[in-house]
């Protein structure tokens, strides 16, 4: 285990099992609809790459980059689009892939932007949901795990850009935040 980690919340095996379940479900839901699967960078990149391998139907992918946390465990409240989609979404079935919904600000902003582009449908799959963090109403259509009120890292999720490469989900030792 990494030296800065206090506790492992979800092991690599638990994550892979959940991703497999979600992939199976989404394969059924989106069969014959050629969905455009959108990864919300950076955090969702690991979940996205594992998930699409488990969705066994034709699909297309695209990426959007947004950021609001910076080097903090609290959202700045200002969501910035750093990279927009390459693909027009008019008439498409859109599946947004998120790593986590916390305050809900990122997704509510993103959905607001995408809703103006006349997609056929827009749905969200998130691996983690932290309902205690909500500042705006937001619910995913498909959720992996519901989290306690803890700041997590690993499997794509960062603190100050670090720990994204851990294969499990962990909670940092308190002293790591105060350094
Ligand atoms: O519901 P919210 O409070 O908005 O939090 C969720 C968002 O915050 C994180 O992204 P972040 O802004 O840290 O950018 P990153 O993905 O590049 O780490 C995470 O990846 C989600 O996109
Ligand atoms: O718990 C979290 N961990 C990492 N990034 C995050 N962005 C929102 N919540 C979190
Ligand atoms: Mg982040």
Let me know: does 96 contact 125? Beta carbons within 8 Å. yes
CB within 6 Å of ligand 1 — which residues? 40, 42-43, 67-69, 75, 98-106, 158
pLDDT for residue 115 is more than 80: yes
CA distance 101 to 110: 12
Query: Which of the following is catalytic: 102, 112, 141, 158?
Result: 102
pLDDT band at 7 (very low <50, low <70, confident <90, very high): very high
Looking at residue 143, what is its pLDDT? 98
Active site residue 102: yes
152 in ligand 2 pocket by Cβ < 6 Å? yes
What is the CATH T-level fold of the domain 12-150, as seen in this structure? Answer: Rossmann fold (3.40.50)
pTM of the predicted structure, to 2 decimals: 0.96
Q: Which residues pair with 40 in a beta bridge?
A: 64
Which of 69, 100, 138 most suits a substitution to test ligand 1, by most atoms within 8 Å of the C-beta?
A: 69
- Residue closest by Cα to atom 3 of ligand 2: 152
Instruction: Work out the mean pLDDT of the chain and round it to a whole number.
Output: 95
Comparing CA positions, the residue from 126, 38, 39, 110 lying closest to residue 68 is 110
Indicate which ligand has the atom closest to the C-alpha of 40. Answer: 1
* Domain layout of the chain by residue ranges: 12-150
Assign 93 to helix, strand or coil: strand
Q: How far is the CA of 30 from the centre of ligand 3 (A)?
A: 29
**pLDDT, tens digit, for every residue of 59-82?**
999 999 998 887 788 888 888 899
Let me know: does 125 contact 26? Beta carbons within 8 Å. yes
Measured in whole angstroms, the distance separating CA 162 from the mean position of its chain's CA atoms is 17
Let me know: does 84 contact 38? Beta carbons within 8 Å. no
Say what the alpha-carbon torsion angle 115, 127, 84, 111 is, to the nearest 10 degrees: 20
Let me know: does 8 contact 172? Beta carbons within 8 Å. no
Looking at residue 67, what is its pLDDT? 84
Q: How far is the CA of 34 from the centre of ligand 2 (A)?
A: 30
- Residue closest by Cα to atom 9 of ligand 1: 43
């Amino acid at each position: 285990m990494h030296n800065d980690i206090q506790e492992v919340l979800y092991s690599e095996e638990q994550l892979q099992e959940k991703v497999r379940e979600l992939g199976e479900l989404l394969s059924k839901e989106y069969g014959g609809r050629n969905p455009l699967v959108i990864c919300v960078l950076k955090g969702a990149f690991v979940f996205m790459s594992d998930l699409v391998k488990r969705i066994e139907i034709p699909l297309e992918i695209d990426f959007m980059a947004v950021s609001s946390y910076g080097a903090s465990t609290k959202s700045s409240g200002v969501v910035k689009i750093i990279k927009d989609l390459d693909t027009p979404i008019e008439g498409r079935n859109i599946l947004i892939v998120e790593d986590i919904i916390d305050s809900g600000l990122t997704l509510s902003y993103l959905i607001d932007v995408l809703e103006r582009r006349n997609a056929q449908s827009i749905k969200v799959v998130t691996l983690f949901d932290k309902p205690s963090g909500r500042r705006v109403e937001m619910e995913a259509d498909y959720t992996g795990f519901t989290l306690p009120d803890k700041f997590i890292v690993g499997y794509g999720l960062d603190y100050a850009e670090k720990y994204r490469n851990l294969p499990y989900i962990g909670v940092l030792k308190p002293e790591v935040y105060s350094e």
